[in-house]
Amino acid sequence: MTELHHLSIRELSAGLTSKQFSSLELTQHFLTRIDRIDTQINSFISVTHESALASAQQADAARANGTAGLLTGIPIAHKDIFCTQGVRTSCGSKMLDNFIAPYNATVISQCNDAGLVMLGKTNMDEFAMGSSSESSFYGATHNPWQLGRVPGGSSGGSAAAVAADLAPFATATDTGGSIRQPAAFCGLTGLKPTYGRVSRFGMIAYASSLDQGGPIGRSAEDCAYLMQVMAGHDAKDSTSVEQPIDDYVAGLAATNADKPLQGLRIGLPHEYLKDGLDTDVKARVEEALQVLENLGATLVWINLTTTDAAIPAYYLIAPAEASSNLSRYDGVRFGHRCENPKDLMDLYTRSRTEGFGDEVQRRILVGTYALSAGYYDAYYLKAQKVRRLIQNDFVKAFEQCDVIAGPTAPTAAYGIGAKQDPVAMYLGDIYTIAVNLAGLPAISAPVGFDTSYSDQDNAQNQCSPLPVGLQLIGPYWSESKLLNIIHQYQQHTDWHTKRAPLALDAGVKA
């Protein structure tokens, strides 16, 4: 019998419907795995054992009386950026270590309404500021493929939990690549939806014009099931767009069995396949493009001339918005408060100094500087103008192609502590950041492994190959198309089925 944690979302739903296992059994299975394996990974900040088992019992009762939905009783992990009523919502920060959310984020409510069972809240870079999940107050998260490597960030906890089979799928957020890059580093599929497609209500803000929630799963099909739950207009979110929701699962069907991608034009930016891209990553991406061509797609070379401007523009706009959003954490109303302040200024200064980590403080300072009198026009306003040029660049590109393809990240997962220089880490977002600046949807999927390991080491379980991700970028509201393309690719490849050593309970050395 196939292990429960190896089943897809479709198989889990079918098993619950046919009573092969109960939600209580399924939930206990994953909780046991978390207790046994997560000490090595640190993918969870909070594990909600009691409430998970209670929700599972309710799910079983709903299935017994015929009121269950398709996903009722399936476990899920939530990134600890979504407010969850009665549960600590820390955002990976000491500042919110004592914060118990008094209400549910819309995404949490939608998942609860669908009958999903929350296993817990996953680790993340503090306030989603980072690309490696090393800046968390609760310690770094480790990549299940090699424990000495990062899982990516800021949604590294969600990605690592799914990669280690500690949860079937997970919610995540993406401000500059924080769904797609962890998915690539952990051998998963991750979808960053169009800005405004998923409600931001109750999602703790980093950069309000860039943040967007989305799913991380093993396959495009798994992501489609969760996207069906997460998507939709929310009157409580002023950035939510009233746009019809596609049937993402039904949209996976192929109209042409032999050439399911017949007529699809895939744009290849010259700027994405130049110097700075790891040779293994480039090779895997080119191999994946060949598969897509074999399925009927046509490759078209295009130019995205503003690519190099994306990182400097992002690292002015995002910190500026962070500076504004994080000003509410002052030690007065909620969150961390210093002991025995001498006066109000001492309260503000010490509470924020003690509550925020180095990376968060760095971005607050950069953002405050960019917004200050005398520098607003020179930096922030100019960055916003560049943002419009980036958006126009994509619009022009989509006149020549239907989607844009390239690597998700320039390298596979790097070592924990390997990038002490913040700028070096920022440069790793070169292929993902422009998507957020333009508000476009994009997906990352596994397309193979690097070759930075020896067969002998792998046989002795001393290390394992590291996953490589392919990114597809689509026009606004094209989530269904992106999911379909990756689904067709995954029907003809098996990279998404590969398991990390820890997922196979085969212990590895850090």
What is the tens place of the pLDDT at every residue in 451-465? 865 444 444 445 689
Catalytic site residue from 93, 132, 154, 444: 154
Residue 192 appears among annotated catalytic residues: no
User: CA-to-CA distance for 152 and 133, rounded, in angstroms?
Assistant: 6
In a 3-state reduction of DSSP, which class is residue 50?
helix
Contact of 484 with 445, CB cutoff 8 Å = no
Choices 3.30.465.10, 3.40.50.1100, 3.90.1300.10, 2.160.20.70: CATH for 19-305+391-504:
3.90.1300.10
Catalytic site residue from 13, 23, 79, 481: 79
Percent of residues in the chain assigned helix, strand, coil, to nearest 5: 45, 15, 45
Domain ranges of the chain: 19-305+391-504
What is the tens place of the pLDDT at every residue in 14-46? 999 999 999 999 999 999 999 999 999 999 999
Q: Which residues pair with 82 in a beta bridge?
A: 203
What pTM value is reported for the model? 0.95
User: CA-to-CA distance for 387 and 434, rounded, in angstroms?
Assistant: 8
Residue 396 appears among annotated catalytic residues: no
Query: pLDDT-based confidence at 7, cuts 50/70/90?
Result: very high
User: CA-to-CA distance for 329 and 95, rounded, in angstroms?
Assistant: 8
Q: What is the mean pLDDT of residues 147-156?
A: 97
pLDDT at 224 over 60: yes
Contact of 157 with 124, CB cutoff 8 Å = yes
Q: Which residue has the higher pLDDT, 421 or 21?
A: 21
Catalytic site residue from 136, 178, 219, 323: 178
Tokens 């549960």 identify what position?
87
Q: Percent of the chain having pLDDT more than 70?
A: 96
Residue 240 appears among annotated catalytic residues: no
What is the tens place of the pLDDT at every residue in 253-303? 988 888 999 999 999 999 998 888 999 999 999 999 999 999 999 999 999
